[in-house]
Amino acid sequence: MRLLNVKTFEFAEFPNHTRPKYAILSHRWVAGFEATIKDVQKRRNTDGLGFRKVKEFAEYARKHLSVEWIWIDTCCINQENAAELSEAVNLMFEWYFNAEICVAYLKDVESVDDSEEFQQSEWFRRGWTLQELLAPPIVVFVTKTWEVIGNKGAMAHVERIHTTPIGPSLEERIAKITQISEQILNDYRASLSCSVDERLQWMECRITTREEDKYYALYGIFGVTPGANYGEGQDGARRRLMAAIRQQEDSAAQHRERLENISRWLKPPDPFTNHMSARQRHEPQTGAWLLNSRPYKMWKAGSIKCLWIHGKAGCGKTVLSSTAIEDIKMQCNSSSNAVQAFFYFSFSDSEKQSYGSLLRSLLMQLGTKQPALSTLYEAYTKCRQILPGDEELEALLLSCSALHNEIFVHLDALDECPEGHDVRQQLLNSIERLLNNAPNLRILVTSQDIRDIREFAERVDAESMLIAARAVDADIRKYVSTQLSLDRKLSQLDDATKRLLEDTLSQKADGMFRWAYCQLEALKRLKSTKPKSVEAALYALPRTLDGTYERMLCDIQDQDRTEAMVLLRWLAYAHSPLSLGELVEATIVDTTAKGAVDFDNRGGWTDVLEVLAGLVVTDEGTLLSEARDTESESMSSEPLVKRASKHTKARLAHFSVKEYLESQRILASTAKEFHLFPAREHDLLSESCLVYLTHYSDSPAKASTGEDQHTFPLLKYAASSCYRSEALLLLSESRRLDWLLVHRPDFPWLDPFRRIPDVDDAGSSLYYASTVGLRPVAEALIEAGVDVHAKGGRYGNALQAACERGDASVAELLITSGANVNARGGEWGTALQAAAWKGHDHVVKILINAGADIDTEAKPYGTGLQAASWRGHHNVVQMLLDAGAQVNLQAGRSGNALQAASEEGHEQVVRMLLERGAHVNARAVGNPQAVRMLIEAGAHMRSRGDLNLDALLLASETGHHDVVQVLVDHGAVDHDALVTCLALHRAANRGHKKVIEVLLDSVPATSSDPLQWTSILRSVPRWASLAVKARLTHEG
C-alpha cells in the first residue's frame, strides 16, 4: 500500500504487516483537475484544485488526526498502471476498512449548519462513495473549508477517537438519505444478513464516470475480487460480478458446512458470550492507559512472549482484557498472516475451566479461516468425528499455529480455573509447554496475584504488570460520570451533588470497579434525591467489597431469604449457567422429607433479579434497573443491549461474590445464614435434580416429546446432572427410561427425545454407572445381581464403557465380577481397542493381565496395536508389543500397524515397530521424516494397502507436498506416465498447488500421452485454482 507522509510529502510503500496507522480521504473526483502520483512526486501543477486538495488533507491530518500517513486514491494509485489499478480496485474496501479514520470531503457543502445542503450533496449520489461510507468504522464529514459537520460510527468505536474533532452523530440522517440502516452504517458486518438484491439496490440511484465502475465499486461490499477490466462495458462488469458472487456463495456454503462439522466435533465452549458481556460493561474511552503502556506495546510488538496482568478482585481485569482483545483484533484485521484467539475462564461454567476446553475453543477460533480450516477438517475426517484427547488437540493446535506468522492468545481470569485435583496446575504446565513449542505464540494472561500463577509467570519469563489503583481511578471517574448522566433518577441531581458522588466514589473505590458499580446500584435505589439524603447515603456506604456484599444480603427481605439461598446455591454450583426461567423453576423444588415439586407455585423470571439485586447479572449484560424500566432506553449506555427474558442466562455478578459466600469471613458477619458449604450444596443440587426428574416421570402433563422442555423448564439440566446422585441408577425401570429419553450419558451431545436408530437398546443401570464412573453404584448393582455381561448402549457393554472412559477402578471391579474381557460389540468392537485408541495405558495393562486377546480384530482399526499406532500412543504400543502382539497382522482400515503409524506421521511408533520386525510399506503420508525412515528400511514405493492407494497417490490426494517430494526423489515416478497422471489428477481434484508444482517440476511432461494430460485438465473441478489449471496447461 502506497501512503503519503503528511510532513515530508513523500510516498512510501508498506506491506500489510508493517503498515502504519493512516487516515483516508473520500471525495468526488473533478475530471482533469486531480493530482496524479507524478504531480506529487515532481511537485507540478501545485496551484491546481487537485493538488491543493491533497495538501489541505495532509495539513488537516497533521493537525487533527494524530497520524503521519494519509491515502488518497488520485495520487496514491498509479492510474496509468493497469495492473496496479486492478489490484487497487480489489483492495479498496479493505484499505478503507483498516483506516484509522476516513474524512469525507464534501466540496459542495459550504456551511456546517445547512442540513439541506448536506442532504443534497453529490457525495451521496456517487458510486465509489458507497463503499467509502460503509467500509470505514469512522467517517468524519467536512465542508468545503474543512470544517467538521459530524460523523458516522464514532460512538461505536470511541477507542479510535482520542482528540479528533468529530462533531455530532449523523447516522440517523445518513440512513434516511441512503436507505441503509443505522446498524449497518455502524458495523458493515451486519449487512451479511442482507440479500444480494438488497445490497445491489444501494447502488441503484448512484452514478459513476466510467460505466464499469458502478459494479467495480461493489466488489468490496460483496467481498469479491474479480479485478478491473475497463472496456468490458457495464453488462460485462455486472456478469463478472454476479459470477464472482455465485462462486463466493458456493465456497461460503462449503466453508460453513465444514465449520459446522468441526464445531459438532470439537464442541467448543463459546468465549464470545463472555466477551460481549465484558464489552457491554466497558465504559467508552477507558482502558487507554493499558494500550499505551510500555509492557503492552512490547508484547504487541513481539518483544515479550507472555504478559501477565494482575490485580485485586474487582479491579476490572476482564473488561481490560476485552479492550486488549479489541485492539489486537484491529491489528489482525490489517495483517494477512496474524490471527487471534481468546478464552474467558469462568467460575460459573465448568465448560470454561479446563485445559481441554481451552484447546477446543482456541482450535475452533483459529479454524474459522484458511489454512487452519483445512488442517482441522483433515483431522476431523481422520478421527472419524471422534474427539481426540488433550495431547492430540495440543499437537493439532501447534500445527495450526505454525501456519501463521503471529498468534495472539488472550486468557482472562486464569484464577477462576479451580485448584482442586491439580486442574489449574496442569493447565499452567500445559500453557508453559505451548509457549515453549510455539515460537510465534504470544499470550496475555489476567488474574489475581496468587502463588501458582505467579510461579508460572516466573517460569515462562512473563512480563508482570500490576493494575495499580491510580491507573484505574481515572477510568472509574469516567464510568461514574457516565452513569450519573444516563440514570433517570441520578441525572436529576444538581451539579454539586454529582461532583461529590464522582469525587467520593472514585477516591474510595481504590481501583475497584466492582465496588463502584455496587455503590451506584445502591444509590440508584434511593427513595429521595435530596442532596442531604444522597450525601448521607454516600457516607454510609461500606468501604470494602465484603461489607458491600454483607449489606446486599442483609437487605433481602425475610420472606425471600429461603428462595435467595436456593438461587445462590444454583448460581454458585450449577455446572453451566442456567436461564432465569430455569432458576425460578429450581426454587419450587423441595428436597426435604420425600421431596416435592410445587408446579403450581411458579414465580416470574424477574424474581431472580429482584431478590438478588446487585448479586446477579445476565449474559446479555442486562442490569436490574433495566429489567424494571424496559420502556426507557436511556437507562443503558449501550442501546443495543438485549433485554432479559426467561431464556436469558444468569450468573453471579462476580467471582468475588462466590468467594465471599464460601469464606469464613461471612460467618463472622450479619449475613452468616447465606454461607455456602460446597460439598453440602453440590449434594443438594444433585438431590434437587433427582426429585425434579422423579416428579416429571410421574406427572400427568408428561408427553415424552420435545414439548416437555417447555412444560418442565429444568428438565434438560436435571437429566444431564442428576446422575451425580447415586440414587438415580437405582430408580425403577420406567423412570430410568424417562431419564434416558431426555439425556444419554454416552451421547452427551444428543438433543433430548432424539432416538438413535443405529445403536442397540439403552444399556443397563450398571452400564450407565460405568459410563459416568460411579463405582459405589456399580458395586451396589453387582451385589444386587445385575448381569455384568448385559449388552446395550453406545459402547455395547459396561466394561467397554469403563475402558473407553479410562476408569481403571470400575474396569477392575467389572473384571473381578466376571465381565468378559473379549466381549465384542459396541463402538470400539472390544474393550482393548477402546482403551488402546484412547491411550489409557493403565487400563490396557489391566486388560492384558486379565487375559484379553491382543490380536482380536474389530472394526474400524483392526487390532488394539493398530488403534494405538494410528493415534501415536507409544506407551500402549510398547505394552502390546511386549505382550506379544503380532506386528505384521493385516486388518482394519490401515492395513497394518506400521501403515497406520506412518500414515499419521508418528515417528517414534514407526521406529518401535520397525525394531520389532515390521515389514516396511511406505504409506507415511503425514510426515516426510517417517517416509525417509521407511525408505531407508527398504520400503517399496508401489506397495498397496487395502485402500488400493500407493504412497505417491495418497500423498498427492491429501496434499502433503513435502512427502511427495521425498517419494519422487526416491524414484516413485520413474517416468511412469500413468502414475504421474493419476497423482496429478488426484492433486488437481483437491486443488493442491504445491503438490502439482512438485510433480511437474520433477517429471518431464513430454513423456506422457497428450490425451491423458487433456483428460486431467478437463477433470479439474471448477473451484480449483486458476494457477493449477495454468500450470497444467503450460506443461501439457
CATH label of the domain that carries residue 298 = 3.40.50.300
Higher-scoring residue by pLDDT: 94, 949? 94
Question: In this structure, is residue 187 part of a structural domain?
Answer: yes
Peptide bond into 371 cis (omega under 30): yes
Higher-scoring residue by pLDDT: 283, 652? 652
Question: In this structure, is residue 50 part of a structural domain?
Answer: yes
Segment 453-480 shows an average pLDDT of 91
What is the reported pLDDT for 26? 94
What is the reported pLDDT for 22? 93
The rounded distance, in Å, linking the Cα atoms of 124 and 121 is 6
Higher-scoring residue by pLDDT: 649, 1012? 649
Is residue 429 located within the same domain as residue 479? no
Is residue 272 located within the same domain as residue 319? yes
What one-letter code names the amino acid at 379?
A
Please provide the size of the chain in residues. 1036
What is the reported pLDDT for 1010? 55
Confidence of residue 384 (pLDDT cuts 50, 70, 90): low
Confidence of residue 381 (pLDDT cuts 50, 70, 90): confident
Please name which of 656, 446, 669, 670 lies closest in space to residue 572, comparing C-alpha atoms: 656
pLDDT tops 80 at residue 1028:
no
- List of residues 6+ apart from 124 with CB closer than 8 A: 177, 178
Higher-scoring residue by pLDDT: 158, 653? 653
Count of CB atoms situated within 10 Å of the CB of 87? 15
The strand pairing partners of 455, in sequence order, are none
pLDDT tops 70 at residue 631:
no
- Among residues 442, 467, 492, the one where a domain terminates is 467
Is residue 520 located within the same domain as residue 390? no
What is the reported pLDDT for 541? 85
The rounded distance, in Å, linking the Cα atoms of 686 and 573 is 10
The rounded distance, in Å, linking the Cα atoms of 267 and 749 is 8
The strand pairing partners of 24, in sequence order, are 71, 102
pLDDT tops 90 at residue 288:
no
Is residue 346 located within the same domain as residue 387? yes
What is the reported pLDDT for 269? 92
pLDDT tops 60 at residue 161:
no
pLDDT tops 60 at residue 625:
no
Please work out, in degrees rounded to the nearest 5, the angle formed at the alpha carbon of residue 231 by the alpha carbons of 229 and 232. Answer: 70
- pLDDT per position as a tens digit, 347-370: 888 889 999 999 999 999 998 888
Confidence of residue 1020 (pLDDT cuts 50, 70, 90): very low
- Integer-rounded Cα Rg, in Å, for the chain is 33
The rounded distance, in Å, linking the Cα atoms of 763 and 736 is 11
Mean pLDDT, all residues of the chain: 84
Confidence of residue 948 (pLDDT cuts 50, 70, 90): very low
Is residue 497 located within the same domain as residue 578? no
Helices 961-969, 928-936: axis angle to 10 degrees equals: 20
Please name which of 321, 262, 263 lies closest in space to residue 296, comparing C-alpha atoms: 321
Confidence of residue 157 (pLDDT cuts 50, 70, 90): low
The rounded distance, in Å, linking the Cα atoms of 864 and 579 is 44
Please name which of 296, 310, 274 lies closest in space to residue 408, comparing C-alpha atoms: 296
Least confident of 274-288, 560-574, 690-704, 905-919: 905-919
Segment 279-301 shows an average pLDDT of 89
The rounded distance, in Å, linking the Cα atoms of 1015 and 212 is 37
- Among residues 193, 209, 243, the one where a domain terminates is 193
Segment 58-69 shows an average pLDDT of 90
Could you give the number of structural domains in the chain?
5
What is the reported pLDDT for 672? 94
What is the reported pLDDT for 633? 32
Confidence of residue 557 (pLDDT cuts 50, 70, 90): very high
The rounded distance, in Å, linking the Cα atoms of 402 and 439 is 9
Least confident of 57-71, 131-145, 532-546, 991-1005: 991-1005
CA 684 to chain centre: 34
What is the reported pLDDT for 955? 64
What is the reported pLDDT for 632? 33
Is residue 457 located within the same domain as residue 478? no
What is the reported pLDDT for 159? 54
pLDDT over 90 for what percent of the chain?
A: 39
Burial 748-778 (b: 16+ CB within 10 A, else e): eeeebeeeeeebeebbbbbbbbbbbbbbebb
What is the reported pLDDT for 928? 60
Locate 450 and state its grid cell: 496468587
Question: In this structure, is residue 902 part of a structural domain?
Answer: no
Question: In this structure, is residue 707 part of a structural domain?
Answer: no
Question: In this structure, is residue 375 part of a structural domain?
Answer: yes
Using DSSP bridges, classify how beta strands 441-447 and 306-310 pair: parallel, antiparallel or unpaired.
parallel
CB 378 within 8 A of CB 403: no
Please name which of 480, 684, 664 lies closest in space to residue 568, comparing C-alpha atoms: 684
Is residue 156 located within the same domain as residue 13? yes
The rounded distance, in Å, linking the Cα atoms of 923 and 892 is 15
The values of phi and psi at residue 705, to 5°, are -135, 175
Count of CB atoms situated within 10 Å of the CB of 738? 21
Least confident of 303-307, 771-775, 943-947: 943-947
Segment 130-140 shows an average pLDDT of 91
Q: What is the CATH number of the domain that holds 969?
A: 1.25.40
Expressed as residue numbers, the domain containing 423 is 267-467
Confidence of residue 626 (pLDDT cuts 50, 70, 90): very low
What is the reported pLDDT for 636? 32
What is the reported pLDDT for 978? 61
The values of phi and psi at residue 218, to 5°, are -100, -5
Please name which of 969, 981, 980 lies closest in space to residue 1014, comparing C-alpha atoms: 981
> Exposed/middle/buried for 629, CB within 10 Å: 0-12, 13-18, 19+?
middle
Confidence of residue 1021 (pLDDT cuts 50, 70, 90): very low
Is residue 498 located within the same domain as residue 435? no
pLDDT tops 60 at residue 947:
no
What is the reported pLDDT for 640? 28
Question: In this structure, is residue 224 part of a structural domain?
Answer: no
- pLDDT per position as a tens digit, 862-921: 899 988 988 889 999 999 999 999 988 887 666 788 777 766 767 788 778 878 887 754
What is the reported pLDDT for 59? 93
Question: In this structure, is residue 1032 part of a structural domain?
Answer: yes
Residue with cell 460523523: 151
The rounded distance, in Å, linking the Cα atoms of 555 and 521 is 13
What is the reported pLDDT for 141? 95
- pLDDT per position as a tens digit, 578-623: 999 999 999 999 888 677 888 888 888 888 988 998 898 887 543 3
Is residue 271 located within the same domain as residue 416? yes
Is residue 560 located within the same domain as residue 504? no
CB 266 within 8 A of CB 351: no
Confidence of residue 930 (pLDDT cuts 50, 70, 90): low
DSSP state of 317: H
The rounded distance, in Å, linking the Cα atoms of 173 and 152 is 10
CA 48 to chain centre: 52
Is residue 445 located within the same domain as residue 475? no
- Among residues 175, 193, 211, the one where a domain terminates is 193
The rounded distance, in Å, linking the Cα atoms of 692 and 220 is 54
Question: In this structure, is residue 248 part of a structural domain?
Answer: no
pLDDT over 70 for what percent of the chain?
A: 85
- pLDDT per position as a tens digit, 903-917: 676 778 877 887 888
Segment 379-386 shows an average pLDDT of 76
Is residue 453 located within the same domain as residue 509? no
CA 733 to chain centre: 41
Segment 191-219 shows an average pLDDT of 88
